[in-house]
Amino acid sequence: MIDFDVQGHLAVITLNRPQARNAIDPDTTRQIAEAFDRIETDNSIRVTIITGSPPVFCAGADLRAINAGRERELSDVNGFASLTHRQRNKPLIAAVNGPALAGGTEIVLACDLVVAEPTASFGIPEVKRGLIAAAGGLYRLARVLPRNIALECGMTGDPLSAYRAADLDLVNVLADAGEVVPTAVRLAERITANAPLAVSETRRLMLSTPYEPDEVGYAASRGAMKRILATKDAAEGVRAFVEKRAPNWTGE
């Protein structure tokens, strides 16, 4: 199961199956799907944090569900946990408060930013069970980490500590022990202070164009700027700057 809490412009999803190391089962998958369906349609929500009930972030798929023949219920059209291949328009921050292994790491890799505390660890140990990380871990880890480190993680199945993950830029912020969610909230607030439509377009372009030729990125950027200039928030941002006050974003 999950806990779902909305505080102002911020939504917090907490994986809450500590007795099962927050492993993803069919009910959790359905609840995550419902949460993100609401997040994407609720204009008041601008950033989401996903975390786990201590002391584990997520141990991946619930092997008992797999053993019971329910593997297909752990994914839907949006991927594993209804998240790993979901098309999103709003930023998602992983607040990793303990081990994030197998599908847990794949959930982290589906997020935009990562905050971790010292007890966190990351790994795709599927090869130790005769399996492979098939929910994005193999190719996303190879994008984030240096090639040889990614291959080491994939072929040995051994985890990375929070400190090494931070050194390798998998983690944006290394939080103090017990402070991962408050630290993630502060990071989220730095995002929600900005115009939500501009943040969404910025995120979309930065994820979709980094490997494209410059002319493709330029054309996409110009198109996005044209759309943004037509919004009320763009006018509000300029007006607030001239009037030397904080802008009042409406997402319009």
Q: Which residues are catalytic?
A: 106, 126
Tokens of 97: 């408060």
Please give the Cα distance from 73 to 181 (Å, whole number).
29
Nearest CA-CA partner of 8 in 37, 54, 44? 44
Nearest CA-CA partner of 49 in 170, 160, 190, 153? 190
Q: For 8, what's the count of Cα atoms within 13 Å in the CB-facing half-sphere?
A: 7
Helix (H), strand (E) counts: the chain: 10, 11
Give the neighbor-by-neighbor strand order of the sheet with 121-123: 99-101, 121-123, 160-161
Please give the Cα distance from 85 to 90 (Å, whole number).
14
Specify burial of residue 80 (Cβ count, 10 A radius: 0-12, 13-18, 19+): buried
Which conformational region is residue 116 in: left (phi greater than 0), alpha (psi within -120 to 50 degrees), or beta? beta
Please give the Cα distance from 138 to 154 (Å, whole number).
7
188-207 burial, b at 16+ Cβ within 10 Å, e below that, comes to: beebbeebbbbbbbbbebee
Find out whether 36 and 83 touch, Cβ atoms under 8 Å: yes
